[in-house]
Amino acid sequence: MSAVADSRRVAYDTIRAVHESDAYANLLLPTLIGRAGLATADAALATELTYGTLRRQGTYDAVIAIAADRDVAEIDPAVLDALRLGVHQLLSTRVASHAAVNESVELARSAGSRGAAGFTNAVLRRVSRDTPGDWMTRIAAGARSDDEKLGLLFSHPVWVVRAFRRALAAEGRADELEALLTADNAAPRVTMVALPGIAEVPEDARRTPFSPFGFRLSGGDPEAVIRGSEGRTRVQDEGSQLAALALSRALPVRPGERWLDLCAGPGGKTALLAAEALAHGATLEANEISPSRAGLVRRALEGVPLEVPVSEEDGRERAGEAPDTYDRILVDAPCTGLGALRRRPEARWRKSPGDVPELTELQRDLLNAAVGALRPGGVVAYVTCSPHLAETAGVVAEVRREWGAALEELSARDVLIAISDADPDLPVPNDGSGRAQLWPHRHNTDAMSISLLRRV
Ligand SMILES: C[S@@+](CC[C@H](N)C(=O)[O-])C[C@H]1O[C@@H](n2cnc3c(N)ncnc32)[C@H](O)[C@@H]1O
């Protein structure tokens, strides 16, 4: 097999595993690339094919349904994945049509179902006859609403399009919806952090605009930089950096303060908080319900010379057992993750609106427990990697109602503006709260929501 065919096979096997056994593409792909012995350029091709196909699956399925003249649910799943990979190459890459069609036909044939090769050949030839623009016009014509049309054209489930529209409208920026959907379909540049006080931003790196500790490499291998720094420099989205810094920098730190990271796994923000605690004479504890993720938190802390005990409890109980104890608590809550879709190509297809009520109940309980564990004057940062208003403003409003005058909201926007090296252009949400919402299309970060609440 040629190296390019190997790349396609690796992409196909990854996509199959994502659909068949709920694999995560970002975890499985490097293993399959290593096993196939792909060189750098072929590994990059396999990555582009995998991520591109999974991200744009909604669009491609609409194209396949028209070209095959049947609902995609009626197509053998193994053949459907070969078709998706073929359509991706035909509509979104410069791969020659005959190569895209022939290789997909081979993949479908190897999947074994009778007639698969002929069917795949016929469908892909039909797709290849028209331009990508023609296909977009055709699938848009079948949409019953504007949101459904955007969902088909930008490959997002309609409920996610609606949630994004509402979240942007809450800042008076509903007109940015297409820019956001476009940003979700592009691979993010690797962003790194140099832990404050114990690592330096490399001189030849480009600094990120908002976090004073963030940077992007101009070239070279991030892994080499991480190894060379003994874990004090690491990969971290700039939004995640800002979320941790919003807590550590919300108010001046008094020496001896006690900090808690309540939902810490896998520990990216814990490490940054640990460096901040070390620099300001505070102590830090971490908690994570999943033992394996708690292990990742311990590993993430290896490079920081601060003793950070890591417990493995349900955060609601962990905080409930420690009333009036902590000066700062990070609640980086489990959430739908709709703010990190560009990073996890299959994630948008795995969540459903039915997940939201259960998550918001857990988020509210975790935040309530955290507020109870604050000393008077203490601050909690409530963070989600989702802009969904139910998970962000909704949870905060409910908890504020429960605590009444005993809880005040600080302006996370003002804190982030003070931290940032450049103006992050954070509009005041139209509920008048101090919540800060970052966006992939505007800040080039994950869509993190950050609220700061102070017990009075
Ligand atoms: C958004 S992630 C945290 C990311 C982390 N702060 C970081 O920056 O690396 C949420 C975490 O909460 C954990 N979690 C879920 N339910 C929990 C609970 N009831 N108590 C504590 N942690 C929980 C999940 O296992 C997950 O690791």
DSSP string, 79-125: HHHHHHHHHHHHHHS---HHHHHHHHHHHHHHH--TTHHHHHHHHHH
Is residue 387 lining ligand 1, measured as CB closer than 6 Å?
no
- pLDDT for 238 beyond 70: yes
Q: Over range 227-235, report the average pLDDT.
A: 90
Indicate the pLDDT class of residue 112, thresholds 50, 70 and 90.
Answer: confident
Q: Over range 361-390, report the average pLDDT.
A: 98
With a CB cutoff of 8 Å and minimum separation 6, the contacts of 157 are: 58, 151, 348, 349
**384: CA distance to ligand 1 center in Å?**
10
Same domain, 58 and 153: no
Give me the pLDDT at residue 1, please: 61
Burial class (CB within 10 angstroms; exposed 0-12, middle 13-18, buried 19+) of 259: buried
Same domain, 118 and 242: no
Same domain, 168 and 301: no
CATH code of residue 53: 1.10.940.10
Does residue 116 fall inside a structural domain? yes
Same domain, 57 and 167: no
- Average pLDDT taken over every residue of the chain: 96
Q: Are 18 and 24 in contact (CB under 8 A)?
A: yes
Percentage of the chain beyond pLDDT 90 is 94
Q: How far apart are CA 270 and CA 328, in angstroms?
A: 13
Does residue 332 fall inside a structural domain? yes
- pLDDT for 58 beyond 90: yes
Does residue 275 fall inside a structural domain? yes
Q: How many domains does the chain have?
A: 3
Does residue 375 fall inside a structural domain? yes
Q: Over range 7-21, report the average pLDDT.
A: 97
**293: CA distance to ligand 1 center in Å?**
8
Q: How far apart are CA 113 and CA 174, in angstroms?
A: 46
| Strand-strand pairing, 283-287 and 326-332 | unpaired
41 is in which domain, residue-wise? Answer: 3-137
Same domain, 120 and 157: no
235: DSSP letter: E
pLDDT digits (tens, 9 = 90+) for 300-335: 999 999 999 999 999 999 999 999 999 999 999 999
Does residue 209 fall inside a structural domain? no
pLDDT digits (tens, 9 = 90+) for 242-288: 999 999 999 999 999 999 999 999 999 999 999 999 999 999 999 99
With a CB cutoff of 8 Å and minimum separation 6, the contacts of 150 are: 156, 161, 177, 178, 181
User: How long, in residues, is the chain?
Assistant: 456
Give me the pLDDT at residue 17, please: 97
Give me the pLDDT at residue 138, please: 97
Position 300, amino acid: A
- pLDDT for 351 beyond 90: yes
> Catalytic one among 385, 396, 419, 452?
385
Is residue 268 lining ligand 1, measured as CB closer than 6 Å?
yes
